[in-house]
Structure 1
Amino acid sequence: MSRAMRVVCRGAKDESGQVATGLIICSVLALVAVTFWVMLPIGSAVNQKSATQNAADAAALAGAGTVIDHVVEDLATLPVGPFEPQTFSCGLGESEARRLATDNGSRVTSYCYDWRSDRATVDVASIAALSGGQHSKAKAVARTGVLWGACHFDDLPTSRPSPTPTPSSSASSSPSPSSSAPAEPVRLVCGGMTIDYDLQDGQLVLHDPQALRNMLKARLVE
């Protein structure tokens, strides 16, 4: 083979090698671009799902926290009879739950506090939509720590007429100091928790409101 022919062949080989290298580089760049294009929406969806769940958790805790703030006032005085909270309702704590959800980029789609099972249940959806138009959704449940529906009073007092002294006994006896002991507190038993009440003027009055507040704490259960 002549020298000129060898130079032509070497140039052809070099050119084909450069073309192959270029094709490999293009293939790698295309693969990276496709991967990025596919993974970006997935990553965005995962981040939004996490943020939405955080919003649901915050909303549920806020709802249960509002219930705790309300409990001491609601249970401060109760009638003598079977236990049933007077103002516990499904919407108790909802406004605060909505505020926390909004602060975390979501909106509340449903809320209810069930005092019998002590569950503040919140469903939320993200305010911002993903590229496909869908909104991330999440659910959370929080409790105050007491199953109010299982509470009952232990040994409720009953009304008993005071004995009326007879004329003979009142005339013959001299006044003596009262020997009656202070009334025992009436206990509201809720599972393993006991709340003491005092009987005053026919009403049950919470003995230590701060002690009740200290026993309650909002916590997530789902």
Structure 2
Amino acid sequence: MKNILTIAMPKGRIFEEALKLLKKAGYRLPPEFDDSRKLILDVPEEGLRFILAKPMDVATYVEHGVADVGIAGKDVLLEEERDVYELLDLKISYCYLAVAGLPNTKMNDVAPRIATKYPNVAEAYFREQGEQVEIIKLNGSIELAPLIGLSDRIVDIVSTGRTLKENGLVEYEQIADVTSRLIVNPVSYRMKDTLIDELVARLHEVVFSGGV
């Protein structure tokens, strides 16, 4: 499908904000697009095909070439370290990675435990701080870990801080800012450079003209 650009996008907040961005960039997407439960959405009049995926899977689809480009959070790119090119910071879905835990508590002196969905990011961060930690990978409800004594700290995404506050946790350090990025498969970038360059140019104009 040389004339079709396949875009992998995560469901949820990023999808909604990315759709608005694409529409402002002049892409004509059907009204029902927003509410569809399909996992593959074709927009033949624009030469686009969308694959809707879990956030952590977007970069995998792009790396393996089943999607030419993708929209992924910087947190995913830091954690997954996939063989993709990062083309554009879309400046949407802002949040950040942070270290949090119970207030007024110190970490264990010997191999403190860190619970997280981001084991690679967490390990790299604490190694840079000169601390040797035990990483406990969890897939959900990270805030629960320090409350039940499973971990000394957590590393997780923070948006408003409300979830931390409601669970009696406080933020200790900020690791990295996170926004959504446009990524591309290296082979697709060579084979479909015209289509991809047009997408980048149109999105760049919207993002940096204050149109988001």
TM-score by length of 1: 0.20
More strand per residue: 1 or 2?
Answer: 2
Give the greater-gyration-radius structure (CA): 1
Greater RCO (CA < 8 Å, at least 6 residues apart): 2
More helix per residue: 1 or 2?
Answer: 1
TM-score by length of 2: 0.21
